[in-house]
Structure 1
Amino acid sequence: MRFYRQAAIRPNLERRARIVEAVRAFFGAAGFLEIETPMRIPAPAPEIHIDAQETGDWFLQTSPELCMKRLLAAGYEKIFQICRCFRKGERGGRHVPEMTLLEWYAAGMNYLDLMNQCEALIGFVASRIDAGHRLVYRGHTVDLTPPWERLTVAGAFERFGGMTPEQALDRGCFDEIMGLDIEPQLGITRPLFLYDYPARCGALARLKPTDNSVAERFELYIAGMELCNAFSELTDPREQRARFDNDNRARRAAGKTVYPVAEPFLQALEHMPPAAGNALGLDRLVMLFTGAASIDEVVAFVPEEL
C-alpha cells in the first residue's frame, strides 16, 4: 500500500508532536525566547568530522550555533530554537542528512548548570507525555530520576578503553574507541553525562580554568545513545580564530572543503558574555520515548523516499 510506512509510524509522529509541544512549554516557563536564525549561511564552523551541504556559494547550517551566539552578544540572555540542520553524507540508523536540533543558550551559565537543566527538561517532557520516571529502550530500563550519573572522559577511557584519551588521540583511534567500546556502555540503567573532553576535542568550548588540558564540554547518553553536546562557551575571539585555522588546516589535509572564516561571529565574540549552550538531537529524543530502533521510525520522510 502506498504510504504504508507513513501510516505505520503515525503513533510515533503523534508522540513527536507532544514532545515538541512539551519542549516549548519547558523553555517558555523558564523565560527563554524562541528565535529563528537563517539555515543558509556563508561560513559554517570548520569542524573536521562534520561536513556542510553546499547551496550555491554558501552552505546549509550544520548547527545554528554561530548565529545564536551573535544574539547573545547582542544582549539576548536566554534563547532556544528547534530547527532543521544539515550534515552531508550522514545516513544510518541514528542519522539522516536533514535532522532536527533543539539548541539553547543561556548567559551566566556553565556546562554544569546545563547538566541540571538537561535533567529538568527530559523529566518535564516525560511527565507531559505520561512516560513516568522510567524509560524502556531496546531492552534497557533507564531510571530518569535525578541526579544522573557523571563520568569524565578520562574515567571512561580508563574503565572501557584500555588507554588514556591522549594516547587514543595520538594514535588516531579516539573516535573508534568512543564509538565501539565506550558509548554502548553509557547510560544503560541511568542517564550519564560524559564530561571534561580533552582540549583537542574542545571545538567551541572553553578550557577548564583549573585544568587547561580539558574543555568544559559534556555529552549526554541514555541507553547507549548520544543525545546532546554541550559547552561552557569559548568567548575569546583570538583563541577561537586559532582553533578555526587549525580545523581548516586539518580539513585541507584530509582533502575536505576549507570553509570561509566566519568574521561576523568572531567579531561578535568580543561582546559575548560568559554563557553555556547545548545542542540536543530531537529526533533521537523521540526515538527514546517511542522505543524506535531507527531514526526512520520517527521522521515523516527519509531521503530515499523523496
Structure 2
Amino acid sequence: MKSTSSLERRDRAMRRIRAFFHERGYLEVETPIRLATPCMELHIDAEPSGDHFLRTSPEIFHKQLLAAGHDRIFEIGKCFRHGERGKLHHPEYTMLEWYQTHADYMDVLAETKAMIAAVWEDAPADWKPLTVSGAFLEYAGWDPAGNYDEDRFDIDLVEKVEPAIKALGGAVVLKDYPIEAAALSRRKPGNPLIAERWELYIEGIELANAYSELTDPVEQRARFLECAEQRKAMGKAVYPIDEAFLAALGNMPPSGGVALGIDRLLMLMAGADSLDAVLPFR
C-alpha cells in the first residue's frame, strides 16, 4: 500500500472533480463495468470476464443516456485494458468521462482547462494548440491527412511528434486528427479528411482524449466493420457490434465528450514519473 498522503491527494482531487461538475449542472451516473459487447477500437483490447468483457470505457452507455435526453453527464469509474502495463499504463485504471450535448470538441476543451485548474492549483496556465497536420509536417516531414499510413503515423507519433511535444513543456493540445485515427469522432465541416478530435498532453504525458461525437449510425457501422476487418487481419479478437449503441446514435444530439485518466492526473500533480507512485495497490 502507498502512503496516506497519496490517498489523501486522491480524495481531495475526487471531491474537487465532483464539485466542479455538480456546480455546472452535470448528473453523475454509473454504467455497467461488465458487458457483452465492448466498443471496437483497433488497438484497444478488452479484458475477458467469463462470457463477457470488462469495459475499456463507459462511452457506449453514456451516448445511450444522451440519446435518452440527458444533457450533461459524468462518471468516475474503473476501466480495464488487456495486456497494458508500464510506467504510464495499468490494466485497471480510473477514468473520468463526461459528455455535454449541443457542444463540440472545442467547447469541451475550454471546460477541460477549467476543470483541471479547479483540481490542480499548479496546473499549466498556457495551453499550446497544435494541429496534427502542422505537427507532423514540422517534426516528421509529412502530412497524414489524405496520405494516411497507419504504421508510419504510429511510429512517427511516438518517435518524433510526442518527443517534440514533451520538449515544448507545459500543456499541449494536439487536435484535428486524420479521420482514420478517430473512429468515434465526426468529420470536420468542410474538410472530410479531418476528424474533430484532440488529445491533451501535459509535460509530454497524454492525459485526455476528446471528440465532437459521431452521431451517424450508418457511418459508425461502416467504421466498426472496417475496424473488425483490420483486427481480424492483425490476429486480434473481433467483438460483436453493439446494436443498441448504434440505434441510440440516431437519437443523439450533437455532443462533445472527454475521457481523462485520473491516475495520470494524480501522477502529474505529485510530480511523479510512474503510476506506481499514486496507485494504492498494484
TM-score of the alignment, normalized to the shorter chain, above 0.5: yes
- Does residue 234 of structure 1 match 2:189? no
Q: CA deviation at 1:198?
A: 0.1
Q: Whole-Å Cα distance in 2 between the matches of residues 12 and 286 of structure 1?
A: 9
TM-score, structure 1 normalization: 0.89
Preserved contact between residue 196 and residue 218 of structure 1 (Cα < 8 Å) = yes
> 1:161: which partner in 2?
140
Q: CA deviation at 1:159?
A: 1.6
1:11-35: CA deviation from partner (whole Å, max 9, x where unpaired)? 2221111111111110011110000
Q: Whole-Å Cα distance in 2 between the matches of residues 253 and 171 of structure 1?
A: 14
> 2:226: which partner in 1?
246
- Does residue 175 of structure 1 match 2:154? yes
Preserved contact between residue 148 and residue 178 of structure 2 (Cα < 8 Å) = no
TM-score, structure 2 normalization: 0.96
> 2:236: which partner in 1?
256
> 2:45: which partner in 1?
51
Q: Whole-Å Cα distance in 1 between the matches of residues 142 and 31 of structure 2?
A: 41
> 2:75: which partner in 1?
81
- Percentage of identical aligned residues: 48
Preserved contact between residue 84 and residue 101 of structure 1 (Cα < 8 Å) = yes
Where in structure 2 are the equivalents of 1:57-68 lying within 5 Å? 57-68=51-62
Aligned length: 281
User: What amino acid does structure 1 have at the position aligned with 2:135?
Assistant: A
User: What amino acid does structure 1 have at the position aligned with 2:143?
Assistant: T
Q: Whole-Å Cα distance in 2 between the matches of residues 175 and 14 of structure 1?
A: 37
Preserved contact between residue 183 and residue 226 of structure 1 (Cα < 8 Å) = no
Q: Whole-Å Cα distance in 1 between the matches of residues 91 and 35 of structure 2?
A: 17
User: What amino acid does structure 2 have at the position aligned with 1:190?
Assistant: G
User: What amino acid does structure 2 have at the position aligned with 1:246?
Assistant: E
User: What amino acid does structure 2 have at the position aligned with 1:149?
Assistant: K
Q: CA deviation at 1:214?
A: 0.4
The 3 A distance-change label for structure 1 pair 171 and 56 is: closer
SS in structure 2 of the partner of residue 235 of structure 1: coil
SS in structure 2 of the partner of residue 85 of structure 1: strand
SS in structure 2 of the partner of residue 26 of structure 1: helix
User: What amino acid does structure 2 have at the position aligned with 1:244?
Assistant: F
RMSD: 1.4
User: What amino acid does structure 1 have at the position aligned with 2:158?
Assistant: G
> 2:128: which partner in 1?
149
Q: CA deviation at 1:158?
A: 1.2
Q: CA deviation at 1:171?
A: 6.4
> 1:115: which partner in 2?
109
SS in structure 2 of the partner of residue 268 of structure 1: helix
- Does residue 293 of structure 1 match 2:277? no
Q: CA deviation at 1:168?
A: 7.4
> 1:70: which partner in 2?
64
The answer to which of 199-208 and 176-185 deviates more is 176-185
Q: CA deviation at 1:208?
A: 0.4
